[in-house]
Amino acid sequence: MAFGPHLLLATLEGLVTAAVLALTALGLSLVFGVMRIVNVAHGEFFMLGAVLAWAITTAVSGNPAVGFAAALVLAPLIVGAIAWVSERLVLSRIEYNPEATIVATIGLLYIIQQLALTFYGPEARPVAPPFSYRIQLPWFGYSGYKLSIITASALLLLATWFVLTRTRIGLVMRATQYDREIAQAFGIPVGRVYGAVFALGAMLAAVAAVLIVPISQAHYLMGLDPLLLSFIVVIIGGLGSLRGTVVAALLIGVSDGIVSVFFSPTLAKIIATLVVAMVLVFRPQGLFGTAAK
Amino acid sequence: MTEASTAKIYGLHVAVVAVLVALNFVLPEYHHAVLARVLVLAVFAMGYNLLFGYAGLLSLGHAMFFAAGLYGAGLPLYHLGWGVPAAFASGLAAGLVVSAVIGLLALRTTGVAFMIVTMMFAQVFYLVTLYFGEWTRGDEGLVLQQQARQVALGATTLDLTNPDTRYLLAAALFATALFATLAIVRSRHGRVLVAIRENEERTRMLGYDTFANKLAAVVASGVICAAAGAAYALLFGYVGSTFASVQYSILPLLWVLLGGAATTLGPLVGTLFMYYVVDITSGYTSAYMLVVGAVLILLVLFFRKGVLGTVRERWARWLP
């Protein structure tokens, strides 16, 4: 294959990565933005989404599309419920103290990981894609399902943006983010908003995982990479900024796709992580964020 | 601090070390080997405690300092045929360099950003150990041979693979680190660290150079952790990149929280307790991560001060 088509293929792969990454990172960013906490267990919600997708598609017989549709709806709901319960039971009791929250979510990470290992097992299992249509480009055929991931992710991002900026729920969330105490004084049930935001963040990660699992595989340790990549995206994009998150996800996803086609993946990861750490050291507000108040 | 409490403090610490040395002669074989390992890991936890407990800086990257000592000692011994003392010294030097560089960079950030930055640097370190797999053999690791782990002392040879020698050296390292920590936290510098933890802005207003003090704490913490890593490589003969992974950044945090942050003996209590909890539960179930996770959550929910922190609060105000 010539260089041009090769680059096109790499870009397409990168766009798929970026689409999934944007959703996952948006979940992390939302939780950080509104609640001011870092959720270390975010990657495990992602993993849980993939594992549940496998469980649901295996339970539903018949056309793979039916099982997949069921997974797309049910898996995020279950993950959201788990997140909501853990927020109410643990995080709300430690009053969102930043350090205690990190320790508690690390604990959550270990518990979820262990439960997945115990009940799902150490194998990596595939999930059948809902349809297997190939789009024939002049140079190579490309999976239609992968393109549909990009579309689905774009739609979900738009929906999230709409909810956050154009609805009453979004207004309540933004009010809580802006000033928790004033919001409470105006009768906003801050505790319930926090529970909902935490659940929503986890659900975004779970949806992303359900979308990606037909082209990767479900495995109980799959949560660490999305977690680190989401950190990277959220930092580059500026903590708590929706537009920044999407731009950064595109940047990281596409460059990751292109770099890993042409260089060793470990070296690419080393350089990417180092660059991001340096960004955080020398420009803590992120590349697109504004300085903290 | 009164004369009486100073005497009590030193008395307690000397007694703890004496008991540990005495245990060498009475413990059954299995627990003897476990305790030697726990003592080395407790040094790791003490290094972590210095930064987290006293200076109030939560790092999620301390595996990097432990691994710096581990590889700093293990690689020259394995590839260049260095002797044990030289390898240990190079492990310490590696810890010093890594912690100074990371400290200079990471201390520009505070709070949550500090945690994420340290975690990322540690991840880079971990990936580097995998990338240079030709020399480190990555996850599989290197096994240091018995004949390389011997020190000639005059006519006699100190064999680091001998259980008694190993235990006593681990205890010696532990005692050194314990008294070093005690000296640091009772010094002026230690008091400034606690002041920074309580209110950094106010400490700076009082005229202290908070950055220099924090940097010193990172370096001291890094060197102690590197000493633990180097000792681990030399005493147990294994060097692998697992020790640089995220898990080994979380474990010292768990041990310190459990034993009691900002107590000199807390790291030992936490490490010992957790090691046996995992050891005993793994007899019934393979789900040890569940135990670790549940303990972490229960600690932050109900037992913030840890074992010795609670003891200090209730009964013994003089405990350092």
Spell out the alpha helix ranges (H) of B132-246: 133-136, 163-186, 188-198, 200-205, 210-236
- The gap from C-alpha B189 to its chain's centroid, in whole angstroms, comes to 20
Q: How far apart are CA B95 and CA A32, in angstroms?
A: 33
- Residues ≥6 apart with Cβ < 8 Å to B274: B251, B254, B255, B258, B292, B295
In this prediction, residue A38 has a pLDDT band, given cuts at 50, 70 and 90, of confident
Given a contact cutoff of 8 angstroms between Cβ atoms, the answer to whether B42 and B272 are in contact is yes
What is the per-residue pLDDT for A293? 37
What is the per-residue pLDDT for A229? 86
Given a contact cutoff of 8 angstroms between Cβ atoms, the answer to whether A207 and A156 are in contact is yes
A100 touching B (Cβ < 8 Å): yes
A277 touching B (Cβ < 8 Å): yes
Amino acid at A124: A
pTM of the model: 0.84
Q: How far apart are CA A238 and CA A25, in angstroms?
A: 11
Q: Are B113 and A280 a contacting pair at CB < 8 A?
A: yes
* HSE of B217, CA atoms in CB hemisphere, 13 A: 32
Q: Are B112 and A103 a contacting pair at CB < 8 A?
A: no
Chain B environment of A231 (Cβ under 8 Å): 116, 119-120
Chain B environment of A103 (Cβ under 8 Å): 253, 257, 296, 299-300
Q: Are B301 and A104 a contacting pair at CB < 8 A?
A: yes
Q: How far apart are CA A161 and CA A242, in angstroms?
A: 8
Given a contact cutoff of 8 angstroms between Cβ atoms, the answer to whether B76 and B94 are in contact is no
Determine phi and psi for B184, rounding to 5 degrees.
Answer: -65, -45
pLDDT tens-place string over residues B100-142: 999 999 998 887 788 888 988 999 999 999 988 888 887 788 8
Radius of gyration over alpha carbons of chain A, in Å?
19
What is the per-residue pLDDT for A195? 93
- CA nearest B68: which of B42, B102, B39? B102
Chain B environment of A118 (Cβ under 8 Å): 286-287, 290
Look at A41-55, A76-90, A156-170, B152-166 and tell me which has the smallest mean pLDDT: B152-166
% of chain A at pLDDT higher than 90: 37
pLDDT tens-place string over residues B188-199: 999 999 999 999
In this prediction, residue A8 has a pLDDT band, given cuts at 50, 70 and 90, of confident
In this prediction, residue A162 has a pLDDT band, given cuts at 50, 70 and 90, of very high
What is the per-residue pLDDT for A292? 44
Per-residue pLDDT of chain B (320 residues; tens, 9 = 90+): 567 788 888 889 999 999 998 888 888 888 888 899 999 999 999 999 999 999 999 998 999 999 999 999 999 988 888 888 899 999 999 999 999 999 999 998 887 788 888 988 999 999 999 988 888 887 788 888 777 777 777 777 777 788 888 899 999 999 999 999 999 999 999 999 999 999 999 999 999 999 999 999 999 999 999 999 999 999 998 998 889 988 899 889 989 988 888 899 999 999 998 888 888 887 777 777 888 888 889 888 888 888 888 888 888 888 87
Given a contact cutoff of 8 angstroms between Cβ atoms, the answer to whether B43 and B177 are in contact is yes
pLDDT tens-place string over residues A91-139: 988 888 877 888 899 899 999 999 999 899 888 888 888 888 888 888 7
Residues in a beta bridge with A161: none
Look at A68-82, A243-257, B59-73, B169-183 and tell me which has the smallest mean pLDDT: A243-257
Buried b vs exposed e over B182-215: b needs ≥16 C-beta within 10 Å?
bebbeeebbebbebbbeebeebeeeebebeebbb
CA distance readout (Å), B193 to B57, B152, B212 = 10, 41, 10
Do you know the residue count of chain B?
A: 320
Q: How far apart are CA B255 and CA B212, in angstroms?
A: 27
Q: Is the pLDDT of residue A44 over 90?
A: yes
Among B242, B258, B297, the residue to mutate for chain A (most A Cβ within 10 A): B297
Structure tokens, A82: 């788990």
Structure tokens, A69: 């549709």
Chain B environment of A276 (Cβ under 8 Å): 120
Structure tokens, B222: 């890094």
